[in-house]
Structures are given as structure tokens and as C-alpha cells.
Amino acid sequence: MSDTKLPVLIVEDDRDLREAIEATLELAGYPVISAQDGTEALALLKQEKVGLVVSDVSMKPMDGYTLLKEIGTVFPGIPVVLMTAFGDVEKAVGAMRSGACDYLLKPFEPSSLIEYVERYQLAVPYDDHSGMIAQDPKIEALLALAKRVAKSSATVMLTGESGTGKEVFARFIHRNSARADKPFVAINCAAIPENLLEATLFGYEKGAFTGATQPQAGKFEQAQGGTLLLDEISEMPLGLQAKLLRVLQEREVERVGGRQAIALDIRVLATSNRDMAEIVAKGAFREDLYYRLNVIPLHIPPLREHPADIVPLARYFASRIEGGPKLSSSAEAVLARHAWPGNIRELENVIQRASILATGPEIEAADLLIAEERADEKAEDIKSLEKKHIMETLASVNGSRKLAVQKLGISERTLRYKLQQYRLESKE
């Protein structure tokens, strides 16, 4: 085993079993730390870098599923393997959909444990920023800036193309802030219907509207003491923008149908995949709200502008897939040359698809289903390549936007926006 491996954190409330697992891994040459419950495990994760968590499911007061959820929120880069009894297999499989990379069925052989650790454990270079994968100097510098920004209470506007990891950066800011042990609440302003967005944000009282049978706290209240992320803020309707501005100015919120002002203690972050200055100039977004949100601007570059991260990210995504094969050198070369118009989200989707298509011990270049760019394409600008990729993808799925966004790794709203741009360009 390489000396660059990070420690494995064992979480098990049965002392004898915990010590047996520790001994097995230490004899195999793996560094190990341990905790007797979920609460102790979270405390250790805040103190030390860990390459893998192997946790029991049945523990008190915090069980393995709750621990998995907490790790996914606060330390999203760390893989988790659950240890479970035969009767809990169905729940364990459900947990894998929620972020666990695999599960070990008790009782298990020492060789099975070592195999899982070898498969999923992260190395130091992939975890230099508390779970963030960053090898490119541009992202290294951005993470260093984000850490400094996190120490303040200022509102941050994160911008960048769809799929660049804006929410990942937002969570990074939260867990490096003084509010790290408080809630992180995210709301996608583009995903919630306009008539429900106000009630979702601000909450509502019983009888405020048809179907409001009991009072409900909104996202602002749910984030009390912590951080609220307003994802894709540029999609918020103008009428609601005025109400949001008032909440940010007064630091208090009133529920829909209520009269009592509720004082807020939260840190607000916002994201957008559009040019905010441009939509402000067009009158689609309030200028005063924009300046209120854009106190500290952070632009997340597209993946093509930090190419040194492409292969490390691909390896990481492959390691998170159950039984996922490793990447061949030829596959890594193809990945490194691709333009990635869908950014990191597209890369993750490509790796997931390739792991299914791969028939051998490794993912080969052909499994990626990425057409190599011809020499005459190199002169085209990035926007042209992006358009070409999107249109070819649409053609490959017979025009189905639903299938196209899945292959591209972008949202349906983003696809509609891109297609509208292309139509306008063709009329010029």
C-alpha cells in the first residue's frame, strides 16, 4: 500500500469488533483511526483528514444512516462504506442512493474488508482541501480565497457555467466558516414553480392558502444560525426579488399569511450560471438586490480552464461507483483532451455511463463514447464547440430534451436557454 494513503476511520460501537477491524487493517499496512459512535466520528473528521469512513449501521444515539447524511453535507468528498446485518440490506442499498459508495454484509472476511478499503480509499493529493479535489493551480488559488472569504459574514455571489460546482464551493465556504456546525440549507430558485417559491422561502401560516393545513417554516427559518444558499438566483421572479431584498436588509422574515416578524441570524450565498450584470442591464433583475448579493463575487471557471483537474476528478468519480473499474491510460488521455461543455457534471455522467459499458477490468477509451475532435475543429472557439456538442447530442436522442440533458449533464432550463440563443443567432 502507498504511504500517501489517508487514514481509514472505523465507526463501530462494539469494542471487540472495532479493535478486530483496526488490527486487520493495520496488519495490512493501512493507517487507522476509530470512533465508537457517529458523534465522535464527526468530531474526528473536523480534526483530521480521512480517506475513507467504514461505519456500522446500528449505533446509538446516531446511527450509520444519519452519520452518512452528515458526512455528505459537511465532508462531501469522503467515501463511506456501511457495515450492515443481512436484514438491513434493503436499507443499505437505499443508503447507497443517498451517497454511500458500498456496504459490507456482516459477518465478513478480512480479505473483503481490505478489498473495499483498497477500492475506495482516497489518497492525499485528492483531499488537500477538506474533500475538495483540486490539482490545478487556478482552483487551488480559488479555494484559498474561498477559505478567507468563509471567515467573514459577507454575502457571496458564486457565478459560473452550469455544472462547474458552484454548490460544492458554497458548501466548502460553509464548512470553513464559524457556522460550520449549523444548518446548510439550499433552495434551487429555478426548480420551484413561481407560485410556490415565496411560501418555500419564507414559510406560511395555517390557512394562508388552500392546502395550508398547518404552519410551515420556510428555508430562511430552517437555515437559522447557519447558511442559506439561493441557487440560480437569476431565475427568481421580479416581484419576489423585492420581498427578498427587504428580508436581506431587515434581517427578518414574515411567513405568508402571518404578521409576526421573525429575526434571522443567517449567512446568505447565491449562485447564477448567467451574466448577472447583463440581466440587470436588461431589467430582468433588480440592481439593488444584485449589489446586496454581490458583496464578494467568486467566479468558478469552467472545467476546460483547469484541465489538470480532469483526470483526478474522473478517477474520483470512478472510485465512488460500486465495482467501478479503473481508467485506462488511453481513456484518461481522451478525457484530458475533451472540451467538457457540460463541465464537471458532464464528466461525472460520462464516467457513470462508461462504468456500465466497460466489459473488462478497466474503462477503455471506447467506453467513454466521446468523439475525438478533428484537427480542423481546433480553430473553432469554445462556444462553437459547445453548440456542436449540444446539437449532436440532441440528434443522437432524436430530439428528446429529457434524454439530452441527462447525457450533457445540464439542466433542462439551461438547454432551453442555449437553444433560444442559437435560434436568435440564426436570425441575425
Q: Domain locations in the chain? A: 8-124, 137-299, 305-427
β-pairing verdict for 252-254 and 261-263: antiparallel
In DSSP terms, 298 is beta-bridged to 158
Q: What 3-state class would DSSP assign to 231?
A: strand
d(CA 147, CA 150): 5
d(CA 223, CA 159): 22
HSE on the CB side for 323, CA within 13 Å? 6
Look up the CATH number of domain 137-299.
Answer: 3.40.50.300
In DSSP terms, 405 is beta-bridged to none
Q: For residue 5, what pLDDT is reported? A: 66
CA distances (Å), 28 to each of 23, 31, 102, 221, 286, in order?
A: 9, 9, 20, 48, 60
Size of the chain, expressed as the number of residues it contains? 428
Question: What DSSP designation does 51 have?
Answer: S
Instruction: Tell me the three cell numbers of residue 276.
Output: 448577472
Burial label for 9, CB within 10 Å (0-12, 13-18, 19+), is buried
Phi-psi label, residue 207: left if phi above 0, alpha if psi -120 to 50, beta otherwise: left
Burial label for 190, CB within 10 Å (0-12, 13-18, 19+), is middle
Q: For residue 166, what pLDDT is reported? A: 95
Instruction: Tell me the three cell numbers of residue 249.
Output: 436588509
Q: Do 50 and 8 meet the contact criterion of CB atoms below 8 Å apart?
A: yes
Q: For residue 394, what pLDDT is reported? A: 86
Q: Do 57 and 13 meet the contact criterion of CB atoms below 8 Å apart?
A: no
Equal CATH topology for 137-299 and 305-427: no
Pick the CATH number of 305-427 from 1.20.120.790, 3.10.450.710, 1.10.8.60, 3.40.50.1000: 1.10.8.60
pLDDT tens digit at each of 428 positions of the chain: 334 467 899 999 989 999 999 999 999 888 999 999 999 999 898 888 788 899 998 888 888 888 888 887 777 667 888 888 765 656 656 666 556 767 788 888 888 898 888 877 764 433 345 567 887 888 888 998 998 999 988 999 999 999 999 999 999 999 899 999 899 999 999 888 877 888 889 988 887 777 777 888 889 999 999 999 999 999 999 989 999 999 999 999 989 888 888 999 999 999 999 999 999 999 999 999 999 999 999 999 999 999 989 988 998 888 888 776 789 988 998 999 999 999 999 999 999 999 988 888 889 999 998 876 443 444 345 567 778 888 888 888 888 888 887 777 777 777 887 888 788 777 66
d(CA 428, CA 164): 30
Q: At a CB cut-off of 8 Å and minimum separation 6, what does 243 contact?
A: 198, 202
Distance of CA 205 to the CA centre of its chain: 32
Q: For residue 423, what pLDDT is reported? A: 80
Task: Reply yes or no: is the peptide bond before residue 193 cis, omega within 30 of 0.
Answer: no
Q: Do 292 and 245 meet the contact criterion of CB atoms below 8 Å apart?
A: yes
Give the CATH superfamily of 8-124.
Response regulator (3.40.50.2300)
